[in-house]
Amino acid sequence: MITYDKILEYIETIKSKNYKAISMLFLSNFNNLVLNNYLTFHLGQINLKTKIIKSEYDQINQEIFNLNLNKKIDKIDYLIIAYDINSKINFNELLIEKYINNIKNNIEEILNNKNLKSINIIHFNLSVSENIFFYLEKDYHIFLKKINSFNKYLNRICDTHKNHHILDVNKLINQIGINNFYNSKNYYLYKTPYTELADNVISQELSKIINSTLKTNKKCLVLDLDNTLWGGVLGEIGSEGIDLGRTYGGECYKNFQKYLKVLLKKGIILAACSKNNIGDVKECFKKNKNMILKLEDFSALQINWDNKYKNIDLIANELNIGKDAVVFFDDSPFEREEMKNFNPQINVINVPKNPENFVQSIEKTSFFYKKTQTVEDIKKRHQYKILKKASNLKTKFKNINDFFKSLKMTLEISNINKYNFERSVQLINKTNQFNLTSKRYNKTELEVFLKSKSQFTFVGRLKDKFGDHGITALAMIKKNRNTWIIDNFLLSCRILGRKVENIFLYEILKKLRFNKISSLQGIYIKTNKNFQCENFYIDNNFKKIKSNYFVTLKNLKKLNEGYIKIKYERY
């Protein structure tokens, strides 16, 4: 574990770095200076530069209820609120009731403050220190009950308010043990309640939450096999000889596979990249009874003797995802080094030597951390498989239009509504390649957009003979003075290559014409990743005037791509 003096040194070095800056206000009823430094450190590890707005210690009520907070809101991206109840209360039922009600009041005040709706707010839930074990049994139960009921209340708030998050202190206490969590000496001396270790895990968890709000989550985990999913080299010892279950190492590998199953359920795609004979691997997954993962759990396989840094490109291509969404996990330092040098966009996990630490090494990064799981996430893995089937099919047809026809595609179009809101936000923030303007909207901003009178939104859900691809196309149209412009137009790369984008645009133009709009302006904003849609508007009969694109809706040219059926839903 990194010690506090090293943390202070590291923080100095962040100042000169060109990292993305975020600012936060940390309100707590204890001295949070040390915790702040740990947090700055952990956010630095994920390339964020933290600015902490100063607030007085133990002044939560005052900050929330007086104008101070409103003055500060403009400057902050995150508000953290932490109560450490152990430091405050001489236990008795009435006092704790009063105390918790006060916290609830503060939260209600925050919920009512309109200015705070666009800020991410992180609440510490309430926990108990070891002191509680000395209480009378009856009191102990009352105390626990009150705290649990408050924590449930907090959960409800965070479930129903998209910008509210929980830092689960109790989970962290379970993780490192209560005796390693609180430091009474430091509390009585400096009003810092936590140990170095606790400061470390709390700030790590906070940085995960913050990272998850920035939409930098990864999509795919590419795994090595030998000495990663099992112990030993399969080619040498055979499918019954590998170490999986039974022994110390074997149990570790087995447990790691169970963890990977959990990632699968979260919607993360697994792929395997290993220097092995494919026949051996297939046999091993079939025959070894301790194997938790099945071969079908992997959406892509590159099992051969080529360089892994080349193979991983094939995996990204096959799955149609950007390289920066790929994470590489391999026990061999050589392979990791080669990957870093020759394929630097890939995220490489620093795999520890002992397999019992594998899970931790992934959890430590916030690559796969998610607050809410959309229905799309659960479906996604299935969809990548559908896509794979479709690309296998492609080779059978000589004429591409025949191939498209055979897919029996239906595009269902609706506006952005409560049924697809979560997914829409996700699409707006995650889509990089086929995205004309790359304009990002967070949940609050999108809500504001939808409330405006002069706007149209469209989302498209594509289905074909293999299944439902889910909501994969989105457009936002707004009126800017007297001109209607396409503010956002994007397509998930999962469904590219079928001309869906042209048909989606054509349907939008028809709809706008129906609403008596005579002309429309398109914008293309170039980024590192969206060159493939550079000519999209030109290809669709828009006229380029200076750097913008215009189309008159009166004489729309008919699109003759009869292979997609259009359905309108809830529009």
Partner 1 sequence: MSDIKNKLDSLFLLIFKIPKNKKKTHRNYKNIKKWDSLNHANLILAIESKFKIQIKPEKSIKLISYKEILNYLKKNV
Residues of the shown chain interacting with partner 1 in the complex, contacts defined by CB under 8 A = 3-6, 8-9, 12, 31, 33-34, 37, 57, 185-186, 188-192, 196
Complex with partner 1: residue 195 or 444, whichever CB lies closer: 195
Q: Which is nearer to partner 1, 34 or 269 (CB)?
A: 34
> Whole-angstrom Cα distance, residue 208 to residue 214?
10
Angle at CA of residue 167, ends 163 and 173, nearest 5° = 170
CB of 3 to partner 1, least distance (A): 4
Nearest to partner 1 of 15, 310 (CB atom): 15
Total length of the chain: 571
Return the exposure string of 389-408: e unless at least 16 CB atoms fall within 10 Å of the residue's CB, then b: ebeeeeeeeeeeeebbeebe
188/248 with CB nearer partner 1: 188
Provide, rounded to whole angstroms, the least separation between the CB of residue 167 and partner 1: 21
Question: Do the Cβ atoms of 360 and 350 come closer than 8 Å?
Answer: no
Q: What is the DSSP letter of 288?
A: -
Minimum separation from the CB atom of position 190 to partner 1 (A): 3
CA 466 to chain CA centroid, Å, is 27
* Shortest Å, Cβ 31 to partner 1: 6
Q: Name the DSSP class of 407.
A: T
Please check whether residue 280 is in contact with residue 286, taking contact to mean a CB–CB distance below 8 angstroms: no
Smallest distance, partner 1 to C-beta of residue 546, A: 51
CA distance 433 to 243: 42
Cα(561)–Cα(571) distance, integer angstroms: 23
Type of residue numbered 413: I
Residue type at 152 in one-letter notation = K
Task: Kindly state the greatest CA–CA separation across the chain.
Answer: 82
User: In terms of CB distance, is 141 or 185 closer to partner 1?
Assistant: 185
Dihedral (Cα; 554, 558, 563, 568), 10-degree rounding: 20
Question: Nearest distance from residue 185's CB to partner 1, in Å?
Answer: 6
12 versus 236: smaller Cβ distance to partner 1: 12
- Give dist(CA 43, CA 124) in Å, integer: 18
DSSP string, 301-346: EEESSS-HHHHHHHHHHHHT--GGGEEEE-S-HHHHHHHHHH-TTS
Gap between the Cα atoms of 267 and 369, Å rounded = 11
Cβ distance to partner 1 smaller for residue 87 or 420: 87
Torsion (CA) 290, 295, 298, 301 in degrees, nearest 10 = 120
As measured in angstroms, the least distance from the Cβ of 360 to partner 1 is: 22
Half-sphere exposure of 214 (CA within 13 A, CB side): 18
Beta carbon nearer to partner 1, 53 or 142: 53
Nearer to partner 1, 111 or 197 (CB): 197
Cβ-based nearer residue to partner 1, 8 or 262: 8
Task: State the nearest-atom distance from the C-beta of 28 to partner 1, in Å.
Answer: 12
Shortest gap between Cβ of 49 and partner 1 (angstroms)?
A: 17
Please state, in angstroms and rounded to a whole number, the distance separating the CA atoms of residues 367 and 192.
30
Residue 36 CB, shortest distance to partner 1, in Å, is: 10
